[in-house]
Amino acid sequence: MQRRNLLATAAFGLGLALSGGSAMAQGLEKVKACFIYVGPIGDGGWTYQHHQGALALTEAYGDKVEIAWQESVPEGADAERAITQFALDGCNIIFTTSFGFMDATNAVAAQFPDIKFEHATGFKRDQPNVSTYDARFYEGRAVMGTIAGHMTKSNKIGYIGSYPIPEVIQGINASFIHAKKVNPDVTMSVVWAYTWFDPAKEADAAKALIDQGVDVILQHTDSTAPLAEAQKVEGVIGFGQASDMAAYKPSPRVSAIIDNWAPYYVKRVGALLDGTYEQSAAWEGIAGGEVEIGEITDAVPADVKAAAEKMRDDIAAGTYHPFTGPLNKQDGSAWLAEGEVADDGALATMNFYVEGITGEIPK
Amino acid sequence: MIVGGLDIAILLASLMVGAVPILLAALGETVVERSGVLNLGVEGMMIIGAVTGFIAAVTLENAVAGFIAGALCGAAFSLIFAALTQVFQANQVATGLALTLFGIGVSSLAGQGYNGIKPPVTGAVPLGLLRDIPFLGPMLFRHDWVVYFSLFMVFATWFVLNRTRAGLIIRAVGENHEAAHALGYKVNRIRLLCILFGGAMAGMGGAYVSLVRVPQWTDNMTNGVGWIALAIVVFASWRPGRVLFGAWLFGGLMVLGPNLQAAGYAIPVEYLSMAPYVITIIVLVIMSSGRGRSLGAPASLGQNFHASR
C-alpha cells in the first residue's frame, strides 16, 4: 500500500517533470498483475487461455508489467488465503478467474481498498475496487448447437455440466435451442460433474453419455478428457471448450469455443498504467472478440459449416440474438414472446431450462 | 438388453473397465497382507505408477512400455517402504501413510510439463467374431489387454496363494512369522518380495488410470482409488476371488452415477459419490462385529519381525 503510493507519487512527479507542469492522470509506473487460477495452466482449456491473456500483458507492456500467478487454487475458503497472499505481495491488480472465487474476492477486496480486484464470470461488485468481467459464451454455444443438431445421427446430444450456475445453464439452453432449430428430433442429456477440472470425472461423464447413445458431446468443464473419451468411439464428436484443443482435430474436435482474454487484460492493466482505471462490469461476446469460434474442420459437411459460420457472423453483427422468442420455459409457461430478446439481467440469473429439455436442474 | 433406460451389457462393460485400477492394486495388496505386512501406501504407489507410466508411454510412444514402466516404478517406490519396515523395523502404518503423501508430492513434481498431452492409445484386443455375440460381445470381448490381464491375475494370485508351495510359505509367514522363521524361512526376504509385487500391481493400476481411463496426466489423479483398494482387501477377507467381486461392486458404483444421470434419473449426485465409501464403512462394521477371527485376517498382519534367535 505504502509502496504503491510511493510509486504513484513518483510517477506523478515524473509526469509533471516531463510534461512541464501540465496535469496528468495519476497512473502507475509499474503494475504487478496477479492471477488466481482454478486449474493447472496445462489443462489445455480454461486456465490455459487465462494464462495466455496474462502473457499478452508482458508482451504489450514489457518491463512496465510484472505478472504472477497461482495454479489449482480450490474454490472456497482456501481461495481467500491465496488472494490475501497476493494482496500482501504487492500486487496492484488481482484477477480471480473462476466463478467460485466470487465471495472470497469481495471479502479480500474489502480489506485492501487500494488494490484493484477483477473477478471473472461473477456478478458481485460489493466493493468499489471490485470489477467483474465475463464473456458471452452462450453465443458460441449457439454456433456449436447448430453444428450438433446437424451432425447427430442418433439425435441424442450430451452436455457435461460443471455446476448448476447461470453461465452453465445459459450454455445448455443456447445449445439445445439451436440444435432443436435445425433438427426437431434432437434430445439432450445433461450430466453434472460438479467440478471445473477433474479429468477422471469428466471422462466418466463422457463415457456415460456415449454409453447412452449420445454421439455429440458438449462440455462445460476445462480439460480435454471428454474429447479423449470421444476419440475412443467411432462417430462421436465434441468441441473444444475455452481453448482450441487443436490436438483433437479434425475429429472428434470439429470446432471450438475459444475464450480470448488478452484484449481485456491488456485494456485493464493499460488503464491502470495511464490512470483511467474505473470499476466496470464487462460482458463481451463474439463481436467484442472475447469469444472466438475455432476452425470448423472438414469432418463437418460444407453446408453445415456454412450455416454455423452464418450464425457466428449474424451474432457478431448484432442482427441475431441467441435467445430470441418465441421461447417457453421447461414447464411450458411463456418466457419470451415472438421476436422478444432476453435482456442481460434475465441471462445473468438464468435458473431454468427451456422447453424440450428433460431432467431437472439440481438445487 | 435395456433395463430402465440403461443398456446392461454396456453398463457391465464400463464397470469392468472402471474396476481395473482397483482390482490390480487390491490384488497386489492382498498378497502383501497375506504375508503379514500392512502397506497403507497403495495410493502413493498408484500415483507414482500413473505418472511414470504416462511419462514412459509418451516418451517412448508405446503404451505397453508405459504399463511396464508404471509397474517397475511402483515396485521401486515400494522399496522405500520395504527398507523402512523390513530393515529398519519402522512402524508399518506410519510408513505406509508417509509413502502415500510422499508419492503424491513426487508425482506432482515429476508430472510438471506433462499436463494436457495425449498418451498413445491402448486399443481393444481384436477378438474377431466374439465381438459380435449379442450381449456377451459388447460386455466381455471389446476390452483392451489390461482388462484381460487383470482377470488373469485374479486367477494367478488365487492359484499361487492356495495351490503352490510359494503360496503356502507366504501364508505361513503371514500367519505366524516366528514359526515360519523356526522352519528356516527368511521372513523379511519373503515379505520384501511380496511388497515389491504389491508395488508393481499398484503401479500398473495407476498407469491404467493415466493411460486408459482418463487418459492424460493431472496432479493427484488417482483420487482415492488406492484407499478403496485397501478397503476391498478387508471386504474380500483377503481372498482373490472376492477381491474381484468387491472391485466390480465399487467400480460399478462409480460408473453408475454418471450413467443414471445420462439416462435422466434425478438422483442427487452426492449420494452416488459417497456410496462406495458408505458401503465400505457398512461392510467393515458388519464384518468386524463379533466374528473376529472368522474374518480371515492374517494373524501377524502389521507386526514387524526381527530374528532374535
pLDDT in tens, A90-145: 999 999 999 999 999 999 999 999 999 999 998 889 999 999 999 999 999 999 99
Q: B10 contacts in A (CB within 8 Å)?
A: 211
CA–CA separation, A189 and B259 (whole Å): 10
- With CA atoms as reference, the chain B residue closest to A359 would be B264
A137-257+293-348 shares the fold of A2-136+261-284 = yes
Task: Say what the pLDDT of residue B284 is.
Answer: 67
Out of A198, A209, A228, the one facing B262 most closely (by C-beta) is: A209
Flag whether B207 is in a domain.
Answer: yes
- Whether the per-residue pLDDT at B285 is higher than 50: the answer is yes
**pLDDT at A194 (0 to 100):** 87
Query: Are the beta carbons of B221 and A40 separated by less than 8 Å?
Result: no
pLDDT of residue A16: 41
Q: In sequence order, what are the residues at sequence separation of 6 or more whose Cβ sits closer than 8 angstroms to the Cβ of residue A118?
A: A93, A94, A95, A96, A130, A131, A132, A133, A268
Inform me whether the pLDDT recorded for A19 exceeds 50. Answer: no
Task: Provide the pLDDT for residue A359.
Answer: 83
Residues in chain B: 309
The beta strands (E) that lie in chain B are given as: 2-3, 6-7
* Distance in Å, alpha carbon of A271 to nearest chain B alpha carbon: 34
Mean pLDDT (whole number) for A9-18: 44
* Total count of domains within chain B: 1
Instruction: Kindly state whether residue B107 falls inside one of the protein's structural domains.
Output: yes
Q: Note whether A225 contacts B214, CB cutoff 8 Å.
A: yes
Interchain proximity B262–A194, CB inside 8 Å = no
Q: How far is B139 from chain A (nearest CA, A)?
A: 12
Nearest CB to B262; choose among A158, A200, A225: A158
Instruction: Enter the C-alpha cell of residue A248.
Output: 483433437
Q: Tell me which residue range forms the domain holding B196.
A: 2-295
Instruction: Look at residue B142 in the predicted model and tell me its pLDDT.
Output: 87
d(CA A25, CA B36): 75
CATH topology of domain A137-257+293-348: Rossmann fold (3.40.50)
Which residue, among B283, B221, B249, B170, has the nearest Cα to B43 in the 3D structure?
B221
- Chain CA centroid to CA A330, Å: 25
Residue B58 falls inside a structural domain: yes
Instruction: Return d(Cα A26, Cα B63) in angstroms, integer.
Output: 59
Q: Is residue B29 part of a domain?
A: yes
Task: Assign A306 a pLDDT band (cuts: 50, 70, 90).
Answer: very high
In a domain, B41, yes or no: yes
Tell me what the pLDDT averaged over chain B comes to: 89
Residue A17 scores a pLDDT above 50: no
CB-based contact B255 A205, cutoff 8 Å: no
Q: What is the mean pLDDT of residues A236-244?
A: 92
Partner-chain contact B255 A191, CB within 8 Å: no
**For residue B139, pLDDT beyond 80:** yes
B202 domain residue, yes or no = yes
**A40, B219: Cβ pair inside 8 Å?**
yes
The answer to whether the CB of A243 falls within 8 A of the CB of A256 is: yes
Grid look-up 474505473 returns A278
Which residue out of B216, B267, B271 would a mutagenesis test of the A interface target, given it has the greatest number of A Cβ atoms within 10 Å? B216
Cell of B42: 497403495
Closest CB from A208, A225, A232 relative to B259:
A208
Residue of A211, A223, A225 with shortest CB distance to B10? A211
Buried b / exposed e over A90-111, threshold 16 CB at 10 Å, is: ebbbbbbbbbbbbbbbbebbee
pLDDT of residue B135: 85
pLDDT band at residue B152 under the 50/70/90 scheme: very high
Residues of B in contact with A225 (CB under 8 A): 214-216
Q: What is the CATH number of the domain that holds B141?
A: 1.10.3470
Please tell me whether residue A125 adopts helix, strand or coil conformation.
Answer: coil
Percent of all residues in chain A with a pLDDT value above 90, rounded to a whole number: 70
> Does B42 map to a domain?
yes
The rounded Cα A296 to chain-centroid distance in angstroms is 20
- Residue B275 DSSP label: H
pLDDT interval class at B276 (50, 70, 90): confident
Query: ipTM for the complex?
Result: 0.82
With an 8 Å Cβ cutoff, is B263 touching chain A? yes
Q: How many CA atoms lie within 13 A of B236 on its CB side?
A: 30
Q: Calculate how close chain A gets to B109, using CA atoms only, in Å.
A: 13
Could you tell me the pLDDT band of residue B290, with boundaries at 50, 70 and 90? low
pLDDT in tens, A251-296: 899 999 999 999 999 999 999 999 999 999 999 899 988 999 999 9
> Per-residue pLDDT averaged across B3-32, rounded?
90
Residue B304 in any domain: the answer is no
| Domain spanning A2-136+261-284, CATH architecture | 3-Layer(aba) Sandwich (3.40)
Contacts of A271 (CB under 8 A, 6+ apart): A277, A278
